[in-house]
Each structure stands twice: as structure tokens, then as C-alpha cells.
Amino acid sequence: MGPPERRITAAALGVDASAMEPIRPDGTPEAVARLAGGVAHDLNNALLPLRAYGEIAQRMTDRGEDPSAEIGEMLAAADRATALMRELLAFAGEVVHRPELVDLNELVAASKAGAAVSIHPEPVLVLADRALLESVLATLSGIAQGVAELRVSCAAPAARLVVHSAALELDDETRAHLFEPFVVGGLALAGAQGIVTQSGGTIAVESAPAGGTAFVIELPLASGEGRAQPEPLRAMEAASLVVLLVEDDDAVRSSIERMLASDGYTVVTAANGEDAVLLAGEVRADLVLTDVAMRGLNGRETAERILETQPALPVLFMSGYTDDAALRRSVGDRVTPFLQKPFGAEDLTRAIADVLR
């Protein structure tokens, strides 16, 4: 006997007909109001445990107790907030992609998201961000709860990935608004659509011939050799490297400095672009790590000034924005790598390894 049918309607989701109207009585587009309210709700839910466990950890430290478990909860809450922001950027079509060749067969086989997996007899290669595709698959599997089947197929020029659940039924009203934020799955489903679209593909929801619902992703087929993800530099390698860190926010600069130092890097810091240019002439840096949006000289201008005298010096941009004009252009005759804030220590060290290797 198969799983019980789950018929999702607008009413069951707590979304009445008025919530589906495009304009509210006060003139605010309903989707915008729902987006703002939903983001505030989810972000506050992430920030509350972050603050609460931080205070508890501080008290435990004062008493000489081990706050490791509380620190773990803080990191989990920070991850929730980070995921929300990335979903918001994905929905807006502004998420930063790090494309590589991905075999959808391998991605699906490793996901363990479906009760049945059907893969193509040959590799099905697409050029996409592996981590983002994994998040899309996790989102669809979570929405479908009780995924019956994952199928990979291809017919040039497109690769197709189907997430099918016989237990999930959507009414027409919900289906029409499914990819709008906070209708189903918070921002995750809307973000999944943004990720797929930015990867050059499409995502649709269909009634499956055998019953239930199928999410269908189509992506352009790719060929050639992929680029492997770099491993972090070993401690001995890092210890011999000097990073010139340029960041005008004191708290952000301090936290990044400590992350770098904990991995063994020697760090020289500058609070603005002007100071960075002076320091670059005084110290032998192996890498410039600079924020993009800064008061005075911005990151791109800072890099250009430094590269006038040290043209071979590697530069890594970082920013909380994704639409900075500086990110869309090269510096001099090179394309400059970019690291999206917020990031963790492993993200940072991998990005540095990517630039230096």
C-alpha cells in the first residue's frame, strides 16, 4: 500500500483568497508584503536563539563551565540566518554561482532523497554550482515529503531532473502561486526557482501521469572537463603567507582577521582603501582580501591602485552585496574572484586556496 495522499490547498497552508490577490487595500503589492513579513519572521527566529545561546554561553564561561553545546547552537542559528539570506538573493536572481561540471546522476545518487532513483546510463553533465543544486534538490524533496522517485534523463540540448511524489497533490490555486515567496516552503521554493533560472534552466510543477506531483528541472547539457574544488591550504603553507585584509567595518574586520590567524596566516589589516594602498607598499603581501563597498576608495579602486605597482598580486573581493558594479567587471586585464558574505572559516580558506593555486 502506498503512502497516504497529501492534498495541499491554499486553505491548508493558511493562505486565503485575499492573500493571493496582487494588491492589498493599502496599495502594497501582496507578494512584497508577504516577502517582508516572511523574511522578518524567519530572520527573527534565527536571531533569537543566536542571542539567547550567546548570553547563556557567556554566563557559563564566567562560571568556568564548558559552553561548547551552546556555541554549537549559535553556529546553527547563524547558518539558518545565512541560508535565509541566500534564499532571498536566489529569489531575486542575485545569488553568486561558482559553476563547475556536475553529473546529475552522481548528484541524485548521493542525495538519498528518494525511495527510488532512476539515472541515465551515461553521465549527464551540466555547468552549475554543485552546492546550490544540492540545496535545490533538498528543498524539493522536503516540499514533496515522501519522495517516491528521482529521475535523471537527457535529450540534447537539455538535461532533465524530476522529483516525483505520488503522495503530494496540489490544487490549482496553490499550483498557480507555488513559486511565490512564503506560499509553500517559506523562501526556499522561490529561491530554488531563482537558482535554476540563474543556471540557465527552468523549473516547473506538473501533475504526474501516475498521480501526485512532479517538479521538473531542465538545465543545458555541458561537456568537457570540470574544475575541481580546491582544498584548503595546509597549515605550513598558510603560515608562510601574508594577507592584506581591507575592511571598513570594525567588527567584520576583526572577525575575519581572527579566522585567518586561526588558520596560520599572517594578517595585515587596513580600515580603508587609502591605508591599504600605503600598507601594500610597506609589506610583502601574498594576497589582498578586500571588501567591495567601502567609504572612500572602494574595493575595486583600492585593488587597481595596488596593482599599479604590484601587477601580479592576487586579489580576492568580498561583499554582502551581489549587484556591485565592481563585481561585474575585471580589474585591469584579469577577472577577480569573489567571496559572498557571510562566510565561515572553511569558505574563506577554500577561496584563498582557489586564488593562490
pLDDT of residue 270: 98
Please answer whether residues 329 and 304 qualify as being in contact, where contact means their C-beta atoms are separated by less than 8 angstroms. no
Domain assignment present for residue 113? The answer is yes
Same domain, 153 and 211: yes
pLDDT of residue 154: 84
Torsion from C-alpha of 247, 250, 251, 254, nearest 10 degrees: 70
Starting at the edge strand found earlier in the chain, the sheet holding 149-155 runs: 116-118, 149-155, 158-165, 213-220, 202-207
Domain assignment present for residue 228? The answer is no
Domain assignment present for residue 5? The answer is no
Please answer whether residues 230 and 353 qualify as being in contact, where contact means their C-beta atoms are separated by less than 8 angstroms. yes
Element (H, E) at 289: strand 287-291
pLDDT of residue 19: 46
Please answer whether residues 143 and 185 qualify as being in contact, where contact means their C-beta atoms are separated by less than 8 angstroms. yes
pLDDT of residue 226: 47
Say what the pTM is: 0.67
52 exposure class (CB count in 10 Å sphere: 0-12, 13-18, 19+): middle
pLDDT of residue 169: 80
Q: Per residue of the chain (357 residues), give pLDDT as tens.
A: 444 445 554 444 444 444 445 545 544 566 677 777 878 888 888 899 999 999 999 999 999 999 999 999 999 999 888 888 888 888 877 777 778 899 999 998 888 666 678 889 999 999 999 988 988 988 888 877 656 578 888 887 899 999 888 778 887 877 888 888 876 666 788 889 999 999 999 999 887 666 788 899 999 998 755 444 555 555 546 668 999 999 999 999 999 999 999 988 999 999 999 999 999 999 999 999 999 989 999 999 999 999 999 999 999 999 887 655 545 456 766 667 888 888 998 889 888 988 887
The residue segments making up the domain with residue 312 are 235-356
Same domain, 332 and 241: yes
Contacts of 26 (CB under 8 A, 6+ apart): none
Reduce the DSSP state of residue 242 to 3 states and report it: strand
Same domain, 46 and 73: yes
pLDDT of residue 59: 96
Same domain, 128 and 206: yes
Phi–psi pair at 315, nearest 5 degrees: -130, 135
Same domain, 207 and 167: yes
Same domain, 174 and 213: yes
Same domain, 264 and 325: yes
Same domain, 250 and 279: yes
Q: Which of 45, 63, 91 is the last residue of a domain?
A: 91
Question: What is the helix, strand, coil percentage profile of the chain, to 5?
Answer: 45, 20, 35
**Total tally of structural domains belonging to the chain:** 3
Same domain, 251 and 293: yes
Query: CA-to-CA distance for 32 and 329, rounded, in angstroms?
Result: 31
Same domain, 116 and 206: yes
Domain assignment present for residue 305? The answer is yes
Domain assignment present for residue 144? The answer is yes
Same domain, 177 and 110: yes
Please answer whether residues 271 and 302 qualify as being in contact, where contact means their C-beta atoms are separated by less than 8 angstroms. no
